[in-house]
Structure 1
Amino acid sequence: MDGAQLRTVHTGALDGATLTAARKLLDDAFEGDFSDEDWDHTVGGLHVLVLEGDAELVGHAALVQRRLLYGEHALRTGYVEGVAVREDRRGLGYGAAMMREVERVVRGAYELGALSASEDAVDFYAARGWRPWQGPTSVLTPAGARRTPEDDGGVFVLAVTGALDLSRSLTADPRPGDAW
């Protein structure tokens, strides 16, 4: 990370210009497939930023708290959102540096880390020790748990407080937009 700075800050401490730059970075990185609901999922927790030069934002990752149900247990989960590096800055280790910081916080503050991996990022997360959830996924609704089979195999976890049976069901707390 020669010449770049890694900064970890809560959403509440970010100025409007940085939030705007983060949203633009994510819109560009996800090529228009980053909705307002996706953005809402990204704010309200910690942001790990990579800044170059005069504080130019070139990398972003967010960590927000969620509750995931594993059997009868509600696990305090650090959920990773909005991970992206500007296209012309990829391959410089910025993604790995951001995830090291995210993983440090997850291990210090949560029972579990979780994320929904894009197809392009599966190998990146797997190489870092994140494991794909093998069991069925669901989301809580007012009518009870609703299966989310479209997310099966795309949810990755980083166990912190002991071994988990990855073949069991995992249920996300409700939120607007994508469950995972």
Structure 2
Amino acid sequence: MRALISSTLRTSLKFIHLQNSYNYSACLPIVRNMSSEVEKAKKTKWNKHETTLFDKIISKELPADIIYEDEHCLAFNDINPQAPTHFLVIPKRRIPLLDESDENDKELLGTLMLTAKKLAKERLPKGYRLVINNGVHGCQSVYHLHIHILGGRQLSWPPG
């Protein structure tokens, strides 16, 4: 199996460690999923007038496994988790992407970060990673600012 996997793929997978040995075939679905997220980001066009998936979750038009909600933000488990624990924190007022935020969003951005920290400390006492995708090259496929919180296992470095 190893001979069939390119050296580039092996390099990409060298930090994924399963049961004290490298199991490249078990990692292939993870790599395929990353690729599909890249393709989804490339195909998604930002339209400020279009309702997003997250707008529909906020309005309860779509179901979500909500773990926290207040007047400013909402947190819910990711439907496509990339770690044993993977949830999102989103503002209830849509900011399409981080690059579109400004001084008027300072308080809301701080609230999102503090909420992410609070929930992560409760659920992930050994540590966690926060990720904000921004734009096509940042692999953003939903144009509603969101923070990914990932953990529950040793995360590798470098990401991406």
Identify the TM-score tier after normalising by the shorter chain.
0.3 to 0.5
Given the two structures, how large is their TM-score scaled by the length of structure 1? 0.35
| Structure having the larger proportion of residues in helix | 2
Query: Which structure has the bigger radius of gyration?
Result: 2
Please give the TM-score of this superposition, normalised by the length of structure 2. Answer: 0.39
Which structure features the higher share of strand residues?
1
